[in-house]
Structure 1
Amino acid sequence: MPELSEEHSPSPAGNAPASPHTLVRLSANGVRPGGVDALFQAVSSAVGDAPALLALARDAGKEWPRPGEGNTGLLWELLATVAAIDVAAARVFEPHLDALAILAQAGHDPAHATGTWGVFAAEGQGFRLKAEAKGSSVFLTGSKPWCSLAPLLDHAVVTAHTDDGGRAAFAVDLRHPGVTCGEPAWVARGLREIPSGPVRFDRVPAEPLQGTNWYFSRPGFAWGGMGVAACWLGGAVGIARDYRDSLHAGILSGREPDQIALASLGELDRLLTSTLQYLAGTAERIDRRERDSLEQGTAGQGAAGQGTAGQASAWSDALRVRGTCAGAVERVLSVVGSNRGPAPLAFDEKYAKRTADLALYVRQHHGMRDDAQLGALALKGDAWW
């Protein structure tokens, strides 16, 4: 079972707080990639430096597991741990690792994917990217919004509209002269090192990744959405640790926490532990399903949005996980913010950055609209209960 714990035995109350590199434990698998502790230390040292974080993400992509391949919980654990160190760092790591997973799911060897990668799948009013087939080649023309870190990336998995009325995914070289990165009007106080601006494509060659609508119907689309939720939850763990550390500091200065402070810490422990356990259980189910499907010769063929009574689909799992993690994040931000007050937001740069980054990142969740999707699926029988 996952736990919100130290890497070693817990220290007596009032002792120095844990290292910021303490794992956010999800996976029962004790075998982790070599050098992961050094990588977490490097992430801590590179906070705020997007190019340095991209280089670390590239290194992680060579060794970290991919979702659905037997170690999904470990992948989410590693992403959550990065987010607990720095939320924006996770916002760098997650899309690079997701892009490599997409390539693998499309039948490409990620080991041959050089450089750094992003995933540009958002749509927006006034933006449209069209895929045009010319003989055996495909070219992309148009624009795409919300392209995070585009000027710093080498490649991206990009979705574009196709002639048959659907959308398909393509691998694109962002260094092609037909790619123009627009200046983002990025005024956010959160994720300031991760500007997300528009990108213009002018007859840019693109490599198709499977067919129309494959990108959205594959189970990996849901898995990627849950990987983002693991990052949200890791950021919440970081904020809860900040709060716990503030109580430790108070004890060391002779100020014992009162009942309200302890009750709040207890609520955080209960909330985070149960959410971590749920995330871990979902990872185990994903791997078990894929293992069973592989034995039956059907691995990766299930649609993300389909399921039968008593057997939840990958997409309904994603909606549950994302909603549960987003709710936990909102509650952690509220509880810790109310208890710590304005001073750390004004004078503690690390804590203020973490809260601003996480508050913006979790807005990727669509709230009640996602719950409405989940409700529609449950009405059709796509539920465990």
Structure 2
Amino acid sequence: MRVESNVRPSGLRSDLADSAGAVNGDARRALVLASGLASIPYAGEGCTAQLFDTLSTLAAADLTAARVAEAHLDALAILHQAGRPARPDQTWGVFAAEGPGTALTATRTGDRWRLDGTKLWCSLAGLLSHALVTAHVVGAAGDRGRRLFAVDLRHPGVTAHDDVWVARGLSEVTSGPVDFVAVTADAVGDQGWYLRRPGFAWGGIGVAAVWWGGAVGVARTLYAAAERRPPDQIGLAHLGAVDLAVTGSRLAIAAAAAAIDAGEADGSAGSLLAARVRGIVARSVDEVIFHVGHALGPAPLALDARHAQRVADLQLYVRQHHAERDDAALGEMLVTRGSAPW
């Protein structure tokens, strides 16, 4: 269990922040909180800003709470888009990562499917009731391709390897491999639907909203220190730099929410928007951690458990952005447009 001072949010919904703060890094409590968020609106239906605000509010208080809630809400949104609503007693994750040396295959068996193989990076597979899982279809040539499936993780053929997770950040959000042996599954959408749907890009922006909320939590530690003791000129410079990073990301996320609700973030436009927002926020996170660390030195990392854990959680989580590789992917999107984007 993690304990320490919790810098209070200003202007955010205190009830949600209190609930997230009470999670305090506990994955089971995070799941209880996530399962109570079913009324949060889906992206693209007019209230996307509320969704992103909810995710960032959770993250500013506790990144475990936000990390678990984001995945659960993303799965609910995918099921909603597919016309397959989840039951209230179910907790969901999304396992869609691909990696070298492993493969998860799907074979049609009548009206349903059978999954076999190993899937990497399956967060909380040992605690969730269900997951949406991508697998490679085998069989007739017309059926081949990558497809999304709904799986009951309580099936006896599912084995989660939580013991390989040694991360100090998000330590209870274990994200190890899962073995599937003759596991029954239901297809969700046709081949490629998971990646084609507009919500794929929107979900990536939701993750960025969590990163941003985590950066806000780190930034509040610096502001609280400035309130306790007036900073010198160097301290003020660090505070100003943090404000620029945090504010820039907030504006980018707000603009993205408006674009999604206006129908301006579908297809390639959505992919470009997600790449930009994720890149902006990831860079802001790095800047906030840098400036807060330089301004405050080792003391909060050594003596404030909540701050130290928040930094560790955030540094791990933001590495879902692949740094220069994602910047290169963004650059490729730009050069294929045929005209300067600025």
TM-score range, shorter chain: over 0.9
User: Which structure 2 residue ranges, 5 or more long, are not aligned?
Assistant: none
Cα deviation, 1:298-349, whole Å, max 9, x if unaligned, reads xx9x53xx3xxxxxx1111110010000000000010001111112111111
2:154 matched to which residue of 1? Answer: 175
1:192 equivalent to 2:171? Answer yes
Name which of 96, 99, 121 aligns with 1:146: 121
Deviation at 1:135, TM superposition (A): 1.8
Q: Residue 67 of structure 1: which of 28, 33, 43 is its match? A: 43
Aligned counterpart for 1:272 among listed residues 243, 246, 253: 246
User: For the Cα contact (< 8 Å) 1:22–1:81, is it kept in 2?
Assistant: no
Residue 20 of structure 2 is aligned to residue 20 of structure 1:
no
Q: What is the letter of the counterpart of residue 285 of structure 1? A: A
1:129 aligns with 2:104: yes
What are the within-5 Å matches in structure 2 for residues 309-324 of structure 1? Answer: 313-324=269-280
Partner of 2:182: 203
- Determine the C-alpha separation between the residues in 1 that align with 2:95 and 2:33: 20
TM-score of the superposed pair, with normalisation by structure 2? 0.93
Rounded Cα–Cα distance in structure 2 between residues aligned with 1:333 and 1:270: 13
Match of 1:45 in 2: 22
Mapping of residues 327-342 of structure 1, within 5 Å: 327-342=283-298
Counterpart amino acid of 1:150? A
Which 5+ residue runs of structure 1 have no aligned equivalent?
1-16, 25-35, 251-255, 291-299, 307-312
1:93 to 66, 69, 72: 69
Partner of 2:220: 241
SS of structure 1 residue aligned to 2:162: coil
TM-score if structure 1 supplies the norm length?
Answer: 0.83
Name the CA distance, whole Å, in 2 between partners of 1:276 and 1:19.
Answer: 19
Partner letter of residue 75 of structure 2?
A
1 CA distance for matches of 2:331 and 2:242? 28
> What are the superposed Cα offsets for residues 89-143 of structure 1, whole Å, 9 maximum, x if unpaired?
2111110000000101112234x35311101001122221101001222111111
Separation of aligned partners in 1, 2:201 and 2:328: 17
Give distance in 1, aligned partners of 2:63 and 2:111. Answer: 42
Greater mean alpha carbon deviation, residues 264-273 or residues 73-82: 264-273
Provide the identity percentage. 50
1:354 aligns to 2:310 (yes or no): yes
Partner letter of residue 246 of structure 1?
A: A
For residues 161-190 of structure 1, the C-alpha deviation after alignment (integer angstroms, 9 at most, x for no partner) is: 013442111111001111111233222111
Structure 1, 368-377 or 327-336: larger mean CA deviation: 368-377
The CA distance in 2 between the partners of 1:336 and 1:364, in whole Å, is: 22
Task: Give 1:197 shift.
Answer: 1.1
Supply the RMSD in Å over aligned alpha carbons.
Answer: 1.9
CA contact (8 A) 1:185 1:197 kept: yes
Structure 1 pair 95–179 and aligned structure 2 pair: CA distance change class (3 A): same
- Letter of the aligned partner of 1:227 in structure 2? G
Residue 21 of structure 1 deviates from its aligned partner by 4.0
For 1:133, the aligned partner's letter is R
SS of structure 1 residue aligned to 2:135:
strand
Quote the offset at 1:18 in angstroms.
9.8
Amino acid at match of 2:193: W
User: 1:263 is matched with which residue?
Assistant: 237
Rounded Cα–Cα distance in structure 1 between residues aligned with 2:251 and 2:132: 31
Secondary structure at the residue paired with 1:289? Answer: coil
Alignment of 1:55 with 2:32, yes or no, is yes
Three-state SS of the structure 2 residue aligned to 1:162 is strand
Secondary structure at 2:118 match in 1: strand
**Paired residue type of 2:174:** P
How many residue pairs match? The answer is 333
**In the alignment, what sits opposite 2:133?**
158
Separation in 1, partners of 2:30, 2:328: 36
* Conserved 8 A contact 1:23-1:78: no
